Structure formats: C-alpha cells, structure tokens
Structure 1
Amino acid sequence: MMMMMNSTQVSYFTLSAYFDTGAFTYLYFLIILSLYMLIVGSNVFLIVVICMNRSLHEPMYLFLCSLFVNELYGSTGLFPFLLLQILSDIHTISKPFCYLQNFMLYSYGGVEFLNLAIMSYDRYLAICYPLQYNTRMTFNKIAMLIAVTWLIPLLLCVVMTSLTNSLQLCGNIIEKVYCDNYSIVKLACFDITINNIYGLFITSLTILCPLILIFYTYMKILKICFSGCKQSRQKAVSTCTPHLASLLNFSCGASFEVVQSRFNMSNVPNILRIVLSLYWLTCQPLFNPLLYGLNMSKIRMVCKSFVFANM
C-alpha cells in the first residue's frame, strides 16, 4: 500500500520489484557481477584499441569510441547499485541518489540514440558521397557532432530532473529495481501536465528525431545500393549491418521499457518484468562490443595485433 506523505517527508524511495531470492542470492550476484565485468572489460578494451591505433582514427571508429564510452556510462549508473541491492535486505534508495541514477540512465538512452543517428549520417556520406567524404567529415565536424550527441541529452535531463524534483510527492514506492522518472512522476500529488509535456519534448528530440534521420539516411543508402554494382552493395551491407542490428536491439529494449512503465503488467511474472526493464541497460552494452568487434574486419585485425603484441 502506498505510503502517504508530503514532499518534505520524502527522503528515500522503496524499490518494490525486488523479491526474496533465498539461497540463490549469491548466484544472482555472481551472474550480475560477471555481466558487469564483461561489459567493462570489452568496452574498455575496444576504447583503448581505437585510441592507441592511428589507423582507427577515422570518423566511423571515433563515433564507435563515443558509443563504447556511453555503454560504460550507462552501465555504471545501474550495475554497482544493482549489486548492492541484491545483497541487501532493505531495498531503498535515497532521494538524491535516486535522482542521480534517473539522470544517468535517461541521459544514457538519449546519447545512445543520437550516437546511432550520427553513425548513420556518417555511413550515408561515406556511401552516397565517397569522393566528398573527407571534405565533408572533417575533424572539427566530428568533434562538434560528438559534443552535440552528449550535451543535448545531458542538458535535457538536467531540466527533467529539476522538474521532477520540484514535484510534491504523495508516496515513495517505485515498482522497479532502479529509479525511473515516469515512476516518480506518477507519485505526484498534483498536476503533472508540465512534466508530461516536457517528457514528450525529450522523447521527440532524443528518440523521434534521430530515428527520422536514420530512416532518411538508410533510404538514401538503399537507393544507392540498388542502383550500384555488386561490390558497392557488399561494402554497404558489411558496414551498415552492425549499425542496424545495434539500432534494432536498443529500440526493442527501449520499447520493452516504455510498455513496462506505461501499462499495467501485473499479470506478467515479476522476474519477467525485471528482465524486460533491464534489457535496454544490459544487452546493448554487451551486444555492441561483440557486434562491432567481430563484424568489422579492421577492428578484428587491430585487436589481434594488439593482443599478440602484448603477449
């Protein structure tokens, strides 16, 4: 039952989605810890490989480096806290830390979509305008695109967190295993119209606009592929497939999260609800290093030489 209180009394939130794991507590802890170590190890390895090899200092790989940094950022906002909660008997989180986690996870999602959008723009220029690519994709433009990719979601989430913090809350129970902005807003005592409007604004700017850009660039890429030779089609497929797979994976995960947050899922088993809510925060950081590391021949070659050189 929701605990009734005014905004001055809410100093912590209770995360009600956790359940008693009994004898499996340490097994779950080891599984989550292994996943986190794998995420950190694989993403850090690829960041180091890209930074230390001049042959990879090209736009596509610099955008990939930004993507891998974001995977570390998003994972850090979730996994350490999740590991502590698994071992804890009291599943509460302080209000300041809840808002910090909320800020990190939402900004992670925004950066991810925008990063995938600029990667699709990069592939569009490389395939549709190969002769003009180097003049269009300069170092200054790369730096500007990466800066915009990070700054826009961070600034938007600062405003979002400030609006949420200004709400008067009538409860402190969040039905998830981590802090979620929509779950907090639902606890508000009074009108949340401004929060809902701003939420739609953020969604349009960080999800809808990037998806429109990605759709446009790939329509142009497909047009070039169908009108070009077999070699150009193969090159386009080899460079675009990892990007599309990453986009599909993250979009599915984000969709699971939206459905879970907005609709009544009480008839779904608790463990499945937890898995669906964590999918976008766990599978993407695991999926991207494997996807790009295994499918992009240049990264594979550099990784092999890097490993053998340090043996």
Structure 2
Amino acid sequence: MKKSMKILIGMVVVIIIALGFAGNYFYNYALVPAEKDFLSGSSSEKSPELVQAEAWFTDDNNRTTWQMESVDGLNLSAIYLPADKDQKKTAIIAHGYMGKAEDMAQYAELYHSLGYNVLLPDARGHDASEGDYIGFGWDERKDYQQWIQEVLTKTNPDEAIVLHGVSMGAATVMMTSGEKLPDNVKAIVEDCGYTSAKDELTYQLKQMFNLPPFPLIPVTSLVTKIRAGYFFGEADAVKQLHNNTTPMLFIHGDKDDFVPFYMLDEVYAATDAPKEKYVVPGAGHAEAFSKDPAKYKEIVANFLAVHL
C-alpha cells in the first residue's frame, strides 16, 4: 500500500473517531437528563396569583400520585388533582425540557378553576419518572397515549380530555396529536412548541456554539438512534400535525429566542383541524401565561368552550 494511501486512511479514521467523540459529547450535553448550564432559572419575584396557585397545588390534601409502566418498562409518575365536582373532564399537562410536574402549578390551577381534573406527568427522564435520555416529545407521545388510557380507566370511560403542553411539552402534545387517539380527546393546547427536534437542536447549535448543522447534527442523530432508539428527524411535530384531526390552540410569545417565533407559523400551517392562534406581544420563551395571565386564561377558556 502506498504511503499516501495509508496517510489518507489514517486521516479518515481520525476524523471518524473525532466525529464519534463529538456526537457522543453533544448527545450527553443535550439528551442525558442532568442540570443544564444553558438553562437560566427565573429570578423574578413571584406574583400573588402564582403564590396562591402553588399553595393550593402543593397541598397534599388536594392531590395524589399516579404511577404507570411505559411500554418499554419505565416507571412513570404523575400528579393528579381531582376537580371539586365530577364534571367528567380532565386536562393532561406536559412540562418543558428539564422541567417537572411540580413547575406547572399555574397551569394546573387554570384548568382546576374551569372545573377540570388535572393530571401532570413527569416526562421520562425527568424528576420522579425513570429514564436515561430525553425523547424531545417522540417517545413521550407514546407515554401520553398511555396516560390518556389511564385517565379513562381511573375516572370515566366517557371522560372529555384536553392536552396542554409548554415548550418540549408542547412538542409532545403535537406529536401525540398525530397518533390514533380516542374520541375522548377533544382539544389540544400547545404553547411555544418547536417544529422538530432536528430544527430545534440545529437552532440551538447555532445560537450557543455558532456552528453549522453539518456534520454534528447528523452524527449526533446517529448516536441518538444507537443509544436512545430514534433519529432526530423522527421527532417531527410538523409531520405528526399533518395527521391531526383534534382542534388545536397555538400559543407563542413574539420575543421567544429559545424556540424561535417563526416556528409558530410552521406548526400552525401543518394541520387542517379546527385551530386558533394566540400571539403574546413581548413574551419570551414560555412567558405567555406570566405576561398576561388574565388574557391567557380567557383565550384558553373560550377555545375550550367551543370544542368541549
């Protein structure tokens, strides 16, 4: 073998090893559940409404814990808060990336004030639920199909169900919408969800590291397929929305720079189901509710009144 060919092969091997290392590093950085240094916590003072909602939400007298085994054998956990009166309607609320059910007090209180039972799952790999990777809504969509069945089994077989998700939770309910769902699911509310895992990770790679998508996104996608069982391209809310027939409310803040605002138009256009759009001026990522709680509640309540 010529020396030049040996050098070329050696260079190829080094590049492959380097890409494998980089793909695994980014996988660990983005998909392994752990504290993330790029997620900034809120330091703003809590509003009186939030304080009140949290006091009700954290009272053990108002809630119980549900447990469920996923199709791939994970023990998943959720908080359940029954309505004051049995009105045969339940809201299932999905939290965001590296969040937890305990973060969602205001959303739970919103639905409870409208007479709903409320179920708040911890996504796989988050807080009380088992799992060693984040599915960006893709594996979670199957979990939500199971949570829907849990509601019908434990409450009423004719229960009316609403799905409401924020950020990754919004992507989760959009991806769930493309699956076969029982007629009990009457409406879906998505708040600042992304178009796909690939699009969101490509955007974040540029924002945080100023890097182009190639070759890191395809390589990390392959690593994700090997380690977690899915390609980034599979976790696609837009494709799932093409199959959606459930009425959907789309919410997004026009100052969102984490899940960029332009993604709203893409997901909104992807479904032919009855739909509405609510743009919140001046709201950053996942700030639509806190920016104008009264308006947010009014929009959600009016949308549900039409479709339930």
Structure 1 and Structure 2 fold alike (TM over 0.5): no
TM-score, scaled to structure 1: 0.31
Higher RCO structure, 1 or 2 (CA under 8 Å, sep 6+): 1
TM-score, scaled to structure 2: 0.31
Going by fraction, where is strand more abundant, 1 or 2? 2
Going by fraction, where is helix more abundant, 1 or 2? 1
